[in-house]
Structure 1
Amino acid sequence: MRTRFVLLLFLPSLFVSSPVLPALTKEPKATAASFSPTISPILAQRENCLDYDRNVKPSTQKKTVDLKQFGIQIKIPKNFRTMLRNNGEVWILNPVDYDLIACTARGGFGGRGLYHPYIRRIPNPNNLPLRRLVIQRERAKKFKVGKWYRSSMKPYQFSGLDGVLVESGVRSLRPSYFMKIPKIGQVVEIGIGCDCEFDNTQIFEVLKNITLL
């Protein structure tokens, strides 16, 4: 499995407080000590984020997380965490990847590829039917990416709701699922972020742990 090397350059404003994610405490800024012109100041050593080991096993026990902004709840391994992003997305991360992102937010250096299921809202200002909205999005992506972008769509029912399963990409096709949540009246996308090859079974694994609120 190939994983894209991603240089994670995060600012402390990356995190926002939410019921899902405890706010990270911003470390106090270092202040330069007084020194004479003949003495060089001592620079604080930056944290090496590559020290975080990637090997971690998901707990066999699970916990349920309510994501009211999406009208759903999801079961995740007890040792995993959710992260609310500035754009409103929620990522599901193993504890090591969570700490890696926190490290870069503290000003550390280094980065690597991440594998993370995500959940996000899809804007639908014209209140288009679900399938039409997805078709419109895929056409816009193809126009932006170019002729090498490929996508396919098929209906898929989840929790009694009609949704659309999309497989799209350039080098390989990656699945994501779109559905309209009745409780919030908005379209939600559930997918997996990773520059690697995976098939529908992994997105189905995420879906089977989701229930509507």
Structure 2
Amino acid sequence: MEIYSTEEQQVEAIKSFWKEHGNGIILGTLIGLAAIYGWRWYGQQQLAKQEQSSAAYAAALKKVDAGDLSAGDAFLKGDSAGQYQTLMAARLAKAAADKGELDKALGYLDQAQAHADTETLKGIFTLRKARIQLAKGDLKGAKASLALVKDDAFKAESQELLGDIAVKEGDKAAARTAYQAALAGQAGSPALQLKLESLDSKG
């Protein structure tokens, strides 16, 4: 480090330093401050947007639960849906299915799948879709949906549905095999046991 012998030399050195580097230091400081405040502003904007989406979702869901599915449709088409698109579409699918509007329910499940951000959610919606297709009598469509479920966590449910499809097709041997495979993942399930016993009682 250079040692300055007099105050005048120190002052001149400081002046020289600022003359050479002052603008760069000031500019860097301003950029740093702008970045900090810009990030804070962005964070506040995102938080406000999330709060707006949450409030809009809660309001629309209340109407949907009261039977007004159009409120859910309006929410999905609006700009405030955000991260709640999947939840609303899934809720509308259930509401439509409860009303017996199975085609509409399938459409909502397609929307839920499209906006799902995890494979687990996609698997859940695919299983729901297969159940509705089975209820409609679309056995081929239900099989196609179940073929898309790859997650082992849903293997037992998939096998049970395959057994239900086989029963509809009149293939008791395939139904028994599927139900037994499902039991391996749902040991002691009373519902599955009843389905197997029903097959045995039919010969």
* TM superposition score category, shorter chain reference: under 0.3
Output the TM-score relative to the length of structure 2: 0.23
Larger RCO (alpha carbons 8 Å, 6+ apart): 1
Output the TM-score relative to the length of structure 1: 0.22
* Structure number, greater radius of gyration: 2
* Higher fraction of strand: 1
